[in-house]
Amino acid sequence: MWAWMMIILYLSLTPQVSTPINFNHMDKILHLGSYGLAMILTTLAYQKIHHYKSISLLFTYSLMIEVAQLFVVNRYFEVSDLVANLMGILLAIYLMKLLRPTRLF
């Protein structure tokens, strides 16, 4: 779990190189998937922590990264990134409840 969080941090704070190809909304899909995976890993690593606490911690982590991006070349604070992060976290919870409703929550 911690390794994944460090990967998110590194990829989020590395100066972005502009590319000539623009994949519509690919950035938001990556945010959704990254934080969805982070939620799954957090839930598996810390099964005794209530999911509301995990949601709060992961969302706060993503907010701090977005603020830090204000100081990185070609990176920007985007509310839409925060929304994608939160949607990934919530989608992961929903999927985990569908797959293993009694064990995780």
Name the nearest CA neighbour of 25 among 94, 87, 92.
87
Enter the pTM of the model. Answer: 0.86
- Look at residue 7 in the predicted model and tell me its pLDDT: 94
13-45: b (≥16 Cβ within 10 Å) or e: eeeeeeeeeeeeeeebeebbebbbbbbbbbbee
Number of domains in the chain: 1
- Could you report the average pLDDT of every consecutive run of 10 residues in the chain (105 residues)? 93 77 78 96 92 95 96 92 97 90 55
- Look at residue 100 in the predicted model and tell me its pLDDT: 77
Domain of 42, in residue numbers: 2-7+27-104
- Look at residue 26 in the predicted model and tell me its pLDDT: 86
- The verdict on residue 16 lying in a domain is no
- Look at residue 74 in the predicted model and tell me its pLDDT: 87
- The verdict on residue 17 lying in a domain is no
